[in-house]
Amino acid sequence: MNALIDPLARANAVARSPHHDRASVVAALSYLTPTIERPHSYACEPPPGTPWENGTYEALQATIADARYAPESPRIDREGFELQDAPTAVTDFLDARMVESVYYPEACELALAVTGATRAFVFDHLVRKREHDRIALTFGRRGADGRAAANGRIHNDYTEASGSKRLGMVLGDREAASVGRYAIVNVWRSIKGPVFDTPLAVCDARSVMVSDLVVSEVRYPRRTGEIYALPHSPGHRWSYFSRMDRHEALVFKQYDSQVSGVARFTPHAAFDLPDIPPDAPLRESIELRCLVIYGQQA
């Protein structure tokens, strides 16, 4: 066999390990340890003598279903996520100009098709790569090459407050005041072929209680953002899509202004598949956030 494809062959053999069956995998997910403090993490170098984060996290074993084998395909307004076959014309996701000129319009079109919204605005993106030594997953900060690592902390990118604030940041306060229902979705894609080592797990929004959502700060050089972290709950139902390839996109809900009847928040985190060979291809991915607006202006 060609040595260049040996790592893929060995990664494929993971499906035969005792940690896996056809429909699920058992792996560690990183939950916030309950705390009375408001958790925070730095996305930049913290002040001298200040730790990167004040919270502690525990890796707990969880059953993560392979949603490819779900009896019914997940939907963004029900479970909070869905997988789409969505080939892209982008040839180099490290070329920011190409991403903005080609991928942003593609993502807007995809977000509208999935959500049924009428307008879409991409407002940021991030390229990630799993570290070569596969150190323990953390908050996913940028490495020496400028790319962010995989984020292994269970989180939701927006809270009730920051989701509402984002509308004004994208549209301006005057136009935002006339908007009815809107949502923020994440479009996640592999950029280097099938994901064998560190896929993304998403939590069924129906299994997340309001009491599970802990407001947490992400501190940047010039601003402080707000996300939800999650302590463990035995009721959480986790899924992933095995071997996601470059032609596929996982679209999931991060915020929805509609307060009932639809998924509103979809916690997620990277996780390491067990028994992956050390030379299996490293996961490289792009995530893109998009504001979508439904119907006519109020």
Q: Model pTM? A: 0.90
Q: So what's the pLDDT on residue 147? A: 82
> Over the stretch 18-62, which tens digit does the pLDDT of each residue have?
445 579 999 999 999 999 999 999 988 899 999 989 989 999 999
* Low pLDDT (below 70) residues in the chain: 1-21, 143-146, 296-298
Of the chain, the percentage scoring pLDDT greater than 70 comes to: 91
Report phi then psi at 193, rounded to 5.
100, -170
Residues in CB range of 197: below 8 A, 6 or more apart? 11, 130, 134, 272, 273, 276, 280, 281, 282, 283
Output b/e per residue, 145-179; b: 16+ Cβ within 10 A. Answer: eeebbbbbbbbbbbbbebbeebbeebbeeeebeeb
Q: So what's the pLDDT on residue 134? A: 84
Average pLDDT score, the chain: 90
Q: So what's the pLDDT on residue 296? A: 61
Q: So what's the pLDDT on residue 133? A: 81
Q: So what's the pLDDT on residue 140? A: 82
Chain centre to alpha carbon of residue 297 = 29
Q: What's the token pair of residue 169?
A: 């940041």
Q: So what's the pLDDT on residue 143? A: 64
Q: So what's the pLDDT on residue 9? A: 43
Q: So what's the pLDDT on residue 297? A: 57
**Other beta carbons less than 10 A from residue 271's beta carbon:** 25
**Other beta carbons less than 10 A from residue 197's beta carbon:** 21
Q: So what's the pLDDT on residue 12? A: 45
